[in-house]
Amino acid sequence: MILGTILLISLISTLIPKLFYTNVFSKNIILNSFIGSLVGSISAGNPITSYIFGGELLTQGISLLAVTAFLVAWVTVGLIQLPAESAVLGKKFALLRNASSFILAMIVAIITVSILGVL
């Protein structure tokens, strides 16, 4: 699984120029955390591979705020698993859990980076 992640990251870093990242991620705190959470919500992954992926995103020049929001949303929000979660736990619960996890991913990212003093 880790080898597949590394190969995928290599492919993405080859296909997408670094200028793209600087255009998408501005210096806006809210926008960076929102985009990071959005991308992490659409993607689905486990914590082990997220550290590798997050480290590569940092080397590409993406802000720590966006990467932190991405990692938290990557693990806690599951839009891909939403139909299965809705069937097992109920639609209302699944939607409420995913929405609150999305919002909390942005809040946790802002608080974490603020504590580190990197903002």
DSSP annotation of 28 = -
Question: For a pLDDT cut of 90, what percent of the chain falls above it?
Answer: 27
Q: What is the mean pLDDT of the chain?
A: 82
pLDDT at residue 54, as a whole number: 85
In the chain, count of helices (H) and strands (E)?
7, 0
70 contact partners, CB below 8 Å, separation of at least 6 = 36, 37, 39, 40, 54, 57
Taking residue 90's Cβ as centre, other Cβ atoms within 10 Å add up to 12
Residue 119 clears pLDDT 60, i.e. is over it = no
pLDDT in tens, 65-111: 999 998 999 889 878 788 888 889 999 999 999 999 999 999 999 99
pLDDT in tens, 6-28: 676 667 667 766 666 666 777 78
State how far the Cα of 27 lies from the Cα of 82, in Å rounded to an integer. Answer: 32
Total count of residues recorded for the chain? 119
Q: Which residue has the higher pLDDT, 25 or 52?
A: 52
